[in-house]
Amino acid sequence: MKSRNLLKFGLIAAAALMVFGCGSGDASSSASSTTPTTAPAAEGKKLKIGVSIPSADHGWTGGVKYWAEQEMKNHPEIEWVYQTADNPAKQNESLDAMLAQKIDGLVILAHASEPLTPKAKELHDAGVFIVNVDRGFTEPIADIFLAGDNKAFGRISAEFIAKQLNGKGNVLILEGVACNVNTDRVEGAKEIWAKNPGIKVLDSQQADWNMQKAFEKMQTMLVKHKEVNAIWAADDDMALGAEKALKEAGRDKNIFILGGAGMKDIVKRVMDGDPMFPGDVTYPPSMIAQGIKLAVETMKGKTKEELKARKPTNETVKIELIEKANAKDFYFPDSIY
Amino acid sequence: MKFLSNNKALVALAALYIIYVLIDILHWKQGLPMNPQNLRNILSQTSYTGIIAVGMTLVIIGGGIDLSVGSLMGLLGVLSILALNKPSGEPLQTIAAIVVAIGAGALIGFANGVIITWGKIAPFVATLAGLVGFRSLALALTDARSLTATSKEVFPGLAQGGIPIPGAFDAAGRPLLAQWPIFICIAVAAVGSWILNRSVYGRRLIAVGANETAAIYSGIRANQIRVISYTFLGLCTGIVAVLQGSRLTGADPASLGQNVELDAIAAVVIGGTSLSGGKGQVWATVVGVLILGLIGNMLTISNINNNWQGCVKGVIILLAVLIQRGQKSTS
């Protein structure tokens, strides 16, 4: 019996070794040290930078993952420590692990602001240079803050709808998962609805950034509301679900949808002049690549003291309206999103 | 009275529907509970969960549980679209998509069963591993990209086509369709119900779920019986994966099938099937799915704040279960 247990243990250990052996092999080929020989030997030690982002659980975060991995490949001179996390608690844990690995810098797209702020502060106090992308911390911890502006997202897309409808018409709304991103987008849009008394928001339902849910909620809303002129969706995944419901119900005439975040399928249709999608709003997942690049450019060749003396800077990722005329500037056929 | 006490889930559904009618008459004044399009939507939306819930009923009656079906559906959806998008021409592509999803579903269900029975790993744990693992496989296979079906005619017809409902038309004047998934769900439920109540296998499954040791002593191969129930559930999951792929003309590895396991288990429980096994009915589960669908529909139509809807849903589920209990003690 005992020897059998030993055998089992051995098997499990061997399997674990294989799995994790492969895993770390992959990581190093995609991220960290593909080119140890060609690395410029200006300094004795490679810079070690952590990258912490949410796991790819829908289209947009899939895009973030894609752009992060692309940009890390562009900088083989850096030793990358790369982690994705399912939720804020996991992201906290991965930051702990990065601290233990003694990273010099951190590029982070936080799951949520509040739960990550104390941990980010801890890293910053330990001398880690922090580049924060998209969502800000509740305290000014970041050395570089590259802010996404979800309120502007909501405002710009709602303004477009109001203009398109000449200030008069009925609108249905599809919201994402209840969280800061969604609240900011919806609030941004509300500011515009308030300024346009002719625009009536008939209904607003939550579809969790999910195409199938958006489809089903829209099916139900369409039965209830006979006169609808436009649909405002908090992202492009849900916009596609809404379109399917419109088509299925035979209501796809004289109506248009405005999603957002610049999914390539939607941008393509804006470019082609599809009446269902007259426009879109950018919220580029490539902002993570911009953050990684900023981190590398700022940190390279500087000592810890120099970095510490540097004044924190803020930049905002520009949120832009995509229309037929400029759509080709936002269409990346090879992008994942 | 006997009919009612034997069909407590139906009583809960009827009660809910009457409440719906009353609220509509007094408050919304839109005739929604009788609107053919709305009713059709409820049926078509619930048919997907329904098919999985039928398989789940058998697994739970056999004393098991399967938490992996949602993730498995994501994985099978991805595999199915990958098979579909091989340029073999129609209708070969669609056949490939169906065979791959249902075949792989049955195979993985079988593997789940083997791990649980002969591997002696508790169903909760074994399928929890599947819940995590299958989703990750789906993401890895696609690099987290959502896939679009290249077949524009035959494949989308599987879930989007159907039989015209007499006298009902949509806004564009086309006849309103009762889509195929509704009928497939009814067929799967009929098969499941036959297996459970009329076949030798069904009797044995109930015996294993009620008391495994006694069943083994009376000569039933309990492991084999339970493996078959997981295989059947895997097969059901495959059917739904194909249908969802057809309905959404593609598969998103991250969101396809998310939380389906919870809805399916909830439907089984609302239908009165005992979570400890040995007792339950397939038709009652179908009623349970309809109850969940009706709740969802009412909440979407109501003007209840989005953040509160989950709370209301939870309370109604508890009430539905209580109605069942109440019926039992009074009859």
ipTM of the complex: 0.79
Spatial separation of the C-alpha atoms in residues B55 and B102, rounded to whole Å: 13
Residue-wise pLDDT tens digits, A97-151: 898 889 999 999 998 888 899 899 999 998 999 999 998 888 889 999 998 889 9
A224 and B146 in contact by Cβ < 8 A?
no
Please state the rounded mean pLDDT for residues A300-308: 86
Q: Is the pLDDT of residue B5 over 70?
A: no
DSSP code of B168? E
A4 at the B interface (CB within 8 A)? no
B301 and A220 in contact by Cβ < 8 A?
yes
Distance from CA of B29 to the nearest CA of A (A): 11
CATH number of B2-330: 1.10.3470
Give Cβ neighbours of residue A241 (< 8 Å, ≥ 6 apart): A174, A207, A210, A211, A212, A213, A214, A215, A218, B248
Please state the rounded mean pLDDT for residues B158-183: 91
A178 and B35 in contact by Cβ < 8 A?
no
Please state the rounded mean pLDDT for residues B42-46: 94
User: Based on C-alpha coordinates, what's the Rg of chain B?
Assistant: 20
Q: Are residues A280 and A58 in contact, defined by beta-carbon separation less than 8 angstroms? A: no
Residues of A with Cβ-Cβ distance to B309 under 8 angstroms: 206
Residues A294 and A258 in one domain: no
Helix (H, G, I), strand (E, B) or coil at B167: strand
A212 and B244 in contact by Cβ < 8 A?
yes
Residue A323 lies in a domain: no
How confident is the model at residue B168, as a pLDDT? 87
Residues A134 and A208 in one domain: no
DSSP string, B196-239: HHHSHHHHHHHHHHH-HHHHHHTT--HHHHHHHHHHHHHHHHHH
Residue A110 lies in a domain: yes
Q: Are residues A199 and A172 in contact, defined by beta-carbon separation less than 8 angstroms? A: no
Query: Which range, A293-302, A312-321, B185-194, has the best average confidence (pLDDT)?
Result: B185-194
Residues A196 and A222 in one domain: yes
Residues A231 and A122 in one domain: no
Structural domain boundaries, residue A154? 150-282
Residues A164 and A91 in one domain: no
- Whichever domain contains A258, its CATH number is 3.40.50.2300
B255 at the A interface (CB within 8 A)? yes
Distance from CA of A62 to the nearest CA of B (A): 6
Residues A171 and A213 in one domain: yes
Give the number of domains in chain A. 2
Q: Where are the domains of chain B?
A: 2-330
CA atoms within 13 A on the CB side of A281: 29
Give alpha helix (H) positions in chain B.
2-6, 8-23, 36-61, 69-84, 92-117, 123-142, 154-160, 180-198, 200-210, 212-217, 222-247, 260-270, 282-301, 306-330
Residues A136 and A80 in one domain: yes
Residues of A with Cβ-Cβ distance to B303 under 8 angstroms: 203
**Residues within 8 A of A (CB atoms), B 151-190 only:** 160, 170-174
Residue A40 lies in a domain: no
Q: Is the pLDDT of residue A32 over 70?
A: no
Residue A16 lies in a domain: no
Residues in chain A: 337
Residues A154 and A265 in one domain: yes
Please state the rounded mean pLDDT for residues B150-170: 89
Q: What is the largest CA-CA distance in chain A?
A: 80
Among A185, A192, A199, A190, which Cα is nearest to A319's?
A185
Nearest C-alpha in A relative to B35: A223
Give Cβ neighbours of residue B62 (< 8 Å, ≥ 6 apart): B205, B208, B209, B225, B226, B229, B277
B32 at the A interface (CB within 8 A)? yes
DSSP string, B251-279: E-TTTTTTTHHHHHHHHHHHTT--TTSS-
How confident is the model at residue B290, as a pLDDT? 95
Please state the rounded mean pLDDT for residues B160-178: 89
Residues A273 and A299 in one domain: no
Spatial separation of the C-alpha atoms in residues A106 and A295, rounded to whole Å: 8
Residue A331 lies in a domain: no
Residues A263 and A154 in one domain: yes
How confident is the model at residue A14, as a pLDDT? 63
**B92-117 vs B123-142: helix axis angle to the nearest 10?**
150
Residues A50 and A71 in one domain: yes
Least confident of A21-30, B58-67, B194-203, B228-237: A21-30
A211 and B45 in contact by Cβ < 8 A?
no
Residues of B with Cβ-Cβ distance to A56 under 8 angstroms: 139, 144, 254
A223 and B145 in contact by Cβ < 8 A?
no
Nearest C-alpha in A relative to B146: A59
B30 at the A interface (CB within 8 A)? yes
SS (H, E, C) chain A: CHHHHHHHHHHHHHHHHHHHHHHHHHHHHHCCCCCCCCCCCCCCCCCEEEEEEECCCCHHHHHHHHHHHHHHHCCCCCEEEEEEECCHHHHHHHHHHHHHCCCCEEEEECCCHHHHHHHHHHHHHCCCEEEEEECCCCCCCCCEEEECCHHHHHHHHHHHHHHHCCCCEEEEEEECCCCHHHHHHHHHHHHHHHHCCCEEEEEEEECCCCHHHHHHHHHHHHHHCCCCCEEEECCHHHHHHHHHHHHHCCCCCCCEEECCCCCHHHHHHHHCCCCCCCCEECCCCCHHHHHHHHHHHHHCCCCHHHHHHCCCEEEECCCCEECCCCHHHHCCCCCCC
Residue-wise pLDDT tens digits, A63-100: 899 899 999 999 999 999 999 998 888 999 989 989 88
Q: Is the pLDDT of residue A295 over 90?
A: yes
